[in-house]
Amino acid sequence: MGDPAVGRCVTTEGPLPWILRIVVGLILAFLLLPVVVVVLASFSTTAYLTIPPEGLTLRWFGQVLRDPAYLAAIWFSVRLAVAATLLSALLAIPACYALHHRWVPAAATISALLMSPLIFPAVVIGVALLQYVSMLGLRGNFAVLVLAHLVIVTPYMIRTTLAGLSGCDPALEEAARVLGANRVLAFALVVLPAIRSSLAAGLVFALITSFDEVPVTIFLLPPGQATLPVTIFTAIDQGVDPSVAAISTLLIAATAVVLVLIERFASVRRFI
Amino acid sequence: METRPTVGFLLITPLGLVLLAVFVAPVLLMLPTSFRIYAPGQGMLPGWTLANYAQIVTDSYFHQVLGRTFGMGLLVTALCLVIGYPLAYALARSSGAARSWLTLLVVFPLTLNLVVRSFGWISLLSNRGLVNNALVSLGLVEMPVRLMFNLTGLIIGLTHIYLPFMVMVLAAALQALPRDVAAAASTLGSSPLKTFFLVTVPLTAPGMFAGCVLVFVLTISALVTPRLLGGPAYKVMSTAIYDEFLASLDWPTGAALAFTLTAFALATIAGAGWVTRRWVAA
Amino acid sequence: MAELRLERLGKRYSDQVAVADVDLEVASGEFVSLLGPSGCGKTTLLRMVAGLIAPTGGNILIDGADITPLPPHKRQLGLVFQSYALFPHLTVAGNVGFGLRRQGVRGADLERRVTEALELVRLGHLASRMPRQLSGGQQQRVALARAVAPRPRILLLDEPLSNLDAQLRDEMQIEIKRLQRELGITSLFVTHDQTEALSLSDRVCVMSQGRIQQVGTPEQVYHAPANGFVAGFIGMSNRLLGRVEAAVGPAGTMLALADGTRLQSAMEAGPAGSAVDIIIRHDAVRLAALPADSPAALDGTVIMRSFSGARVQLVVRLDTGTDLVSHCATALPGAALPVGARVRVTVDPADVFAAGTA
C-alpha cells in the first residue's frame, strides 16, 4: 500500500545488523583486492607491488601500447569475438524461434543438447578439437577457431534469446499476423524489437565470453598468433614482467567501462 | 500455434550441423584415442588397450591428481557457500543505489578476464608478492611463506573466481522467497536469528544446492587458474590433460583423463538433477 | 483479551506521509476494520502495530503498556497476511505449531493445541498436508489457525480475503466472524472492500491519505457519513461538480450544480462560492412518473434501464442536461419505468453531501 518497505520483503524492514555489514565489507574487499593490486602494480616501477611502494611510472603502459605483439593480440581477439558472436546470433536466433514455438519434436531435449557445451569441461572441448583439427589437417585455421568459439558462446545466446521469447506476449505476434504481416515480417517488425534487450544481453555476454576464452583457444591458435588473454597467460607462464600489470590494468579499465555502459543503458542484473 | 516440423527443422539444422561438426564429432572421435597404445618417442602404436584408464585407477600419481582435484572442488565449494551467503543476503535485502553498487561490485570480478584475476593473485601470493613482501618487511617472517604452487594458492584463487557465481545463484534464491514468510515467523514469536535458521535457510536450501553443484563442476574443470597459481608441477586433472596434450604428447592418456573428468562433471550434474527432482516430488 | 490504543501514530517517508498521527482505540474483544482505498495507509498502520514497520512518531499501547519499541517477535500478536505467507517447507501442523514452539510448547501439549486450532477452522483432517497441496480457501484457514494458535493478544488481518473468489469470500467472512466471536479476540481487520468491513465489524475506521476520516458503527458510517469522502467512498454514488450557493440555516446549505440546478443539503459545506463535489447515493435518488410535459428543475427522462435481480438501475437525464443514476428495488413502482418515461427526481437533503474538490 504505497509503502516501499513492503514491496520486496526478504525479512522485516530495517538496516542490516552492523556485524553483517562488516562481514559484507570484508568479502567485497576480498573480491576487489587482486584487481586493486594489479592496477597499483602497473603504475609502480617494480614488477610487483611492494610495501612501501617504490616509484610511480607510466613507462609500462607506453611499453605495452608500442608492443606489436600485444597490439596484434588485441586485434586478433576482437576479430575472433565479433565473428563468433555474429555467426552465433545468425544461427541461434532462428533455432530459438523454432524451439520456442515447439515446431520440432522434443524441443526441450534439443535445447538441453544445444546448451550442453556449457557443462562440458572447456579443456576437454579444447583437446578434442585439437585432435580433430590435426586429423583434418586444419591446425591453426582461423575459421575453425571462430566455429570453436561459436560452440562456446551459443549456449549464452540461446539462453537469453529463449528467455526473451518466452517473456514476449504471444498476442503481439498474433496481432501482427491478423493485421496482415507474414511470419517473417511479424518476426522482424514485432518480435525482434520486443526481445531486443534480451538479444543485446546475449550479444554482449557472448562477446565478453569469446574475448575472455582461454582453455579452448589455447589449443587451436595459429602459429605466431594469439588472443590477448592467451598472450598474457603465456607471458605470466614465462615469468612476470611489469608490462603484464599494465595490459591487465587496461583490460580492467575496459571491463569497468563496459559494465558502466550496460548499467547505464540497461541493468546489469538482467545479464546474469 | 500449429506444428510446422519442416520449417522447424530448416531453422534448427544450420546450428545443429555446426554443433555436430565442431563439438559432438571431435568429442566422439577422441573416444577411440583413449583406447590406443602410446609409446614415448614413437607416438601411437597399432592396437587397442584399456591401460590408459587402468592407470588412472591404479597409479598413485593419478590418485594424487584426482584426490587433489576433488579436494580442491569440495573446499572451494564450501568456502564459496560460506562466504557467498552473507553477501547474497545483503544483496537480496538491499534496494536502490546500494543494490546497484553491490550488484556491480559482484559482477565486475565475474566479467573480468580470468587470466587478469589470476595474475592479481600471483602479485599477492608469490614469493616476491605483496603479502610476502609485507610479512618480510614487517619482520613477521624471515623467508617468504609459500602461498603459491600449492593447495593454498589454488583454493584462494578459485574461491575468488567462482564466488560471484555462488552469490548470483543464492541472491536469486533469496529473492524468490515467498513474500512475508520471514515477517510471519517474526509475528509468531521468532527472533531474527531463529527466523533465519528456521525459515530462510530451509527455503533457500535448493538454491544453495544448485550453487554448490555449479561451483563444484566449474572448479574441477578449471584450467587457467590452477595452471597459473599451481604452476607446471602442482597438477590437477585439467592441467594434467593440458600437459599430456601439449607437453608430453601422450594423447591416449590425455584423452582417458579428459573422459574421466567429463564423466565426473556430467555425473555430478545428473546426480544433482536426480536429487532435485526427488526433492521437489517429496 | 486485550485492548489496543494508538496515540498519534505516524509514518513519514522522505517524500510522503503514509500515516499521519492516527489516534484509535480498539476495545477488548472488539472487531474493528480499517477501510480505505489502496494507498490510504491502512496496511502501513497494521504493519506498525505488528512491529514490521517502525513508526516515525507516536505510540502503540496494549492494555496500557507501550509496545512501540518491541520487535515483532516479542509483541504476542497474530497476523494473517494477504498472501497467507504459509511456510512452504512445513506441513499444515508444522505451520500451525510454529508460534507455539516459539513459546516453548512441546510434546503432547503441542499436538493437542495444534489439533484444537485446526478443528477451529475445520481442517483437523489435513494436518499432515503441505501448504501447496491445499486450495486457496484451505490455505486461508491454515493461516487463520496459525495466527490464533499461540493465543495472541490481538488478531491482525491484512486483506485476508482479497485472494479468494467471490463465493469463497462470503463463506470465509462468516468463518472469520464466527472464529472471532468464539475466541472473543480483539481484532483489527484491513480491507478495501466496504461490504466486508460493514458486515464483519463492530466499528469501521474509514481512512484516506493517511488520516482517519470517520470511526463509527457500520450503520453510522453508512447512514451518517462524517464528510464527503466517506459519503463518496461507502455505497455507490453520483458525483457531480458544483458550488456552494448559500448557507440556508444552521448546518444546512444550498448547492448548485454546474448546469444551475439547485439542491438542498443538510450538511455544512464551506463558504458560499466554494467549489465542491456533490455526492448523492444511487439509492437516494427517488423517481416518480410525471405527465409528459411538466417543466421543473429536477424533472427528466429515463435514458437507460438495466435490470440486475434485486434492483433496477436507471439513468435519468435531467432537462438541464445532467445525468443521475438511480437504484430502485425491483418491488418498488419506480422500477417499472421504461426508457423514455418522464420522471420527477426527489432527493432528501439529508442524502446530499458535499466534499471539497480534490
Per-residue pLDDT at C78: 93
Q: Is the pLDDT reported for residue A9 higher than 50? A: no
pLDDT tens string B236-249: 999 999 999 998 88
- Say yes or no for a CB contact (<8 Å) between A2 and C44: yes
pLDDT at A259: 86
Chains that touch C (3 or more CB pairs under 8 A): A, B
Query: What pLDDT score was predicted for residue A146?
Result: 96
User: What is the ipTM, given to two decimal places?
Assistant: 0.90
Q: How many degrees, rounded to 5, is the angle at CA C225 between CA C223 and CA C226?
A: 145
Query: What's the pLDDT score for residue C49?
Result: 95
Averaged pLDDT of chain A: 86
How does pLDDT run across A174-229, given as a tens digit for each residue?
A: 888 888 788 888 888 888 888 988 898 899 989 999 999 999 999 999 988 999 99
pLDDT surpassing 60 at residue A6? no
Please state, for a pLDDT cut of 70, what percent of chain B lies above it.
98
Binary contact (C72, B183; C-beta < 8 A): yes
Any CB–CB contact under 8 A between B201 and chain C? no
Give CB contacts under 8 A, 24+ apart, made by A56-60: A59/A242, A60/A242, A60/A243, A60/A245, A60/A246
Say yes or no to pLDDT of A3 above 50.
Answer: no
Interchain pair A95, B12: CB under 8 A: yes
How confident is the model over B32-48, as pLDDT tens digits?
Answer: 999 999 988 888 888 89
Per-residue pLDDT, B171: 94
Look at residue B3 in the predicted model and tell me its pLDDT. Answer: 53
Q: Are A157 and A91 in contact (CB under 8 A)?
A: no
Cα B12 to its chain centre, rounded Å, is 31
pLDDT at residue C259, rounded to an integer: 80
Give the tens place of pLDDT for each residue, A127-176: 999 999 999 998 889 999 999 999 999 999 999 999 999 988 888 888 88
C-alpha dist (Å) from residue B151 to B144, B159, B234:
17, 12, 8
- Least confident segment among A136-140, B160-164, C72-76, C296-300: C296-300
Please list, in sequence order, all residues whose beta carbon lies within 8 angstroms of the beta carbon of residue A177, skipping any fewer than 6 positions away.
A183, A186
In sequence order, the 6+-apart residues with CB closer than 8 A to the CB of A23 are: B86
- Confidence grade of residue A270 (pLDDT, cut at 50, 70, 90): low
User: Any idea which residue has 570484508 for its cell?
Assistant: A26
- Angstrom distances, CA of residue A204 to CA of A211, B109, B190: 10, 16, 45
Of residues B75 and B95, more confidently modeled:
B75
pLDDT per residue as tens digits for the range C76-96: 999 999 999 999 999 999 999
Q: Is the dihedral of CA B3, B9, B15, B17 positive or negative?
A: positive
Cβ of B190 under 8 Å from any chain C Cβ?
A: yes
Distance CA B110, CA B97 (A): 20
Find all residues with CB under 8 Å of A201, minimum gap 6, and list them.
Answer: A160, A266, A270, A271
Q: Which pTM does this prediction carry?
A: 0.84
CA quadruple B217, B218, B221, B226: dihedral positive or negative?
A: negative
CA dist., res. B40 & res. B249, Å (int): 8
Q: What are phi and psi of C269, to 5 degrees?
A: -135, 20
pLDDT of residue A212: 93
**Residues of chain B found within 8 Å of residue A50, distances taken between Cβ atoms:** 130, 133
Would you give the DSSP letter of residue C189?
Answer: E
Read off the pLDDT of residues C254-265 as tens digits, 9 standing for 90 and up. 888 888 788 888
The 10s digit of each residue's pLDDT in C97-145 is 999 999 999 999 999 999 999 999 999 999 999 999 999 999 999 999 9
Statement: residue B282 has pLDDT above 80:
no
CB under 8 Å to A38, separation ≥6 — which residues? A245, A248, A249, A252, B116, B119, B120, B123
Chain C residues whose beta carbon lies within 8 Å of the beta carbon of residue B187: 50-52, 72-73, 75, 77-79, 147, 156
Residue A2: the pLDDT is: 35
> Judging by DSSP bridges, how do beta strands C4-13 and C57-62 pair with one another?
antiparallel
Q: Which of A109-118, C86-95, C176-185, C240-249 has the lowest mean pLDDT?
A: C240-249
d(CA A165, CA A167): 5
> What was the pLDDT predicted at C144?
93
Q: Confidence class of residue A13 from pLDDT cuts 50, 70 and 90?
A: low
CB-nearest to C150 from B180, B189, B199 is: B189
What distance in Å separates the CA atoms of residue C330 and residue C310, rounded to the nearest whole number? 6
Nearest CA in chain C to B189: C73
- Tell me how far apart the alpha carbons of residues C241 and C256 are, in angstroms, rounded to a whole number: 9
CB contact under 8 A, A13 and C54: yes
pLDDT at C285: 87
Instruction: Give the pLDDT confidence score for residue A268 in this predicted structure.
Output: 59
pLDDT digits (tens, 9 = 90+) for C9-35: 999 988 889 999 999 999 999 999 999
* Nearest chain B residue to A173, by CA: B1
pLDDT of res. A41: 85
Cell of B265: 562433471
Cα B69 to Cα B59: distance, rounded to the nearest angstrom: 16
Identify the closest residue of chain B to C100 by CA–CA distance: B188
Q: Is the pLDDT of residue B94 over 60?
A: yes
Q: What is the DSSP letter of B198?
A: I
Q: Is the pLDDT of residue C341 over 90?
A: no
The β-bridge partners of B39 are B43
Q: What percent of chain C has pLDDT over 70?
A: 96
Confidence of residue C347 (pLDDT cuts 50, 70, 90): confident
Close Cβ partners of B261 (under 8 Å, ≥ 6 residues apart): A121, A123, A124, B69, B220, B221, B237, B238, B241
* C1 neighbors C184 (Cβ within 8 angstroms): yes
Distance CA A13, CA A9 (A): 7
In a mutational test of the B interface, the residue from A8, A51, A100, A104 whose CB has the highest number of chain B CBs within 10 Å is A104
pLDDT digits (tens, 9 = 90+) for B247-271: 888 999 999 999 999 999 999 999 9
Report how far residue B216's alpha carbon sits from residue B181's, in angstroms, rounded to the nearest whole number: 31
State the pLDDT confidence band at A267, using cuts at 50, 70 and 90: low
Comparing A4-13, B13-22, B231-240, C333-342, which segment has the lowest mean pLDDT? A4-13
Q: Do C53 and A3 touch (CB under 8 A)?
A: yes
In this complex, do A248 and B27 lie within 8 Å of one another by their Cβ atoms? no
Contact C43 A14 (CB under 8 A): no
From chain B, pick out residues whose CB is under 8 angstroms from the CB of C190. none
Which residue of chain A is at minimal alpha-carbon distance from B221?
A121
The whole-angstrom separation of Cα B168 and Cα B183 is 24
**Closest residue by Cα to residue C236 from C313, C163, C348, C291:** C313
Residue C342's pLDDT band (cuts 50, 70, 90): confident
